[in-house]
């Protein structure tokens, strides 16, 4: 069986980062993904896809993205159900993100204002040095989704991946002979 999802879209709001009663981080967010075709009025419509991400990846994702950030998500579709307060069974379909990729630069993301309110954890943006895309992987087997959360924690991040780009040419041309090419 194959259950694989790949999405590229923009966050509709800041990631809602919470913690289960056992202290496991979980982030929920919706991704606006444009359709490949236009409607009769010539406008491009979008689908709003609910997603969830777990553990350290959830903390990283919440800290390095903001409303409007362009991201890539890989994961799987998951369905779950629960009984609400009125005793009705509620079915939920969502994408469980295993990996994410930031598809815009850090400076572009930082120019976006942080949302205020419950969805924002009001944390200062961590200082990390990275280019236009970075990937992060989360742990598999996230377990059962827990509807009970505690308030967001403050997370300190040290700089990571702060080495210079080994592929930057600093404006100089790169001389490659035909013999060096693999094709």
Residue 174 lies in a domain: no
The pLDDT mean for the chain works out to 74
Residue 100 lies in a domain: yes
**What's the pLDDT at 112?**
72
**Position with higher pLDDT, 37 vs 137:** 37
**What's the pLDDT at 6?**
95
> How crowded is residue 79: how many other Cβ atoms within 10 Å of its Cβ?
8
Residue 86 CA: distances (Å) to CA of 79, 80, 82, 83? 21, 18, 11, 8
Q: What is the mean pLDDT of residues 119-123?
A: 40
**Position with higher pLDDT, 138 vs 20:** 20
46-72 pLDDT tens trace: 999 999 999 999 999 999 988 889 999
15-31 pLDDT tens trace: 999 999 999 999 999 99
Whether the pLDDT of residue 124 is over 70: the answer is no
Residue 133, domain CATH: 2.40.50.140
Residue 175 lies in a domain: no
Residue 68 lies in a domain: yes
Whether the pLDDT of residue 83 is over 80: the answer is yes
When pLDDT is cut at 50, 70 and 90, the band that residue 173 belongs to is low
Domains in the chain: how many in total?
A: 1
When pLDDT is cut at 50, 70 and 90, the band that residue 130 belongs to is very low
Residues 6+ apart with CB under 8 A from 95: 5, 7, 31, 49, 50, 51, 52, 73, 75, 76, 77, 78
Range(s) of the domain holding residue 13: 5-36+43-140
Residue 164 lies in a domain: no
Whether the pLDDT of residue 132 is over 90: the answer is no
Task: State CA 89 to chain mean position distance.
Answer: 29
Residue 154 lies in a domain: no
Residue 48 lies in a domain: yes
When pLDDT is cut at 50, 70 and 90, the band that residue 166 belongs to is low
**What's the pLDDT at 165?**
56
Residue 148 lies in a domain: no
Q: What is the mean pLDDT of residues 81-100?
A: 93
């Amino acid at each position: 069986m194959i259950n694989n999802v790949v999405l590229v879209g923009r966050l509709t709001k800041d990631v809602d980062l919470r913690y289960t009663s056992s202290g496991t981080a979980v982030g929920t967010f919706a991704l606006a993904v444009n359709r490949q075709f236009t409607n009769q009025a010539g406008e491009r419509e979008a689908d709003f896809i609910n997603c969830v991400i777990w553990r350290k990846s959830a903390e990283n994702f919440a800290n390095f993205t903001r409303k409007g950030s362009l991201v890539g998500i890989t994961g799987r579709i998951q369905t779950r159900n629960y009984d609400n307060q009125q005793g009705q069974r509620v079915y939920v379909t969502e994408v469980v993100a295993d990996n994410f990729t930031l598809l815009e630069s850090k400076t572009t993301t930082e120019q976006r204002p942080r949302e205020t309110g419950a969805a924002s954890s009001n944390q200062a943006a961590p200082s990390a040095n990275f280019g236009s895309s970075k990937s992060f992987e989360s742990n598999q087997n996230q377990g059962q989704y827990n509807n009970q959360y505690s308030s967001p924690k403050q997370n300190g991040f040290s700089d990571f991946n702060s080495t210079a780009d080994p592929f930057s040419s600093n404006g100089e041309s790169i001389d490659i002979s035909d013999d060096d090419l693999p094709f």
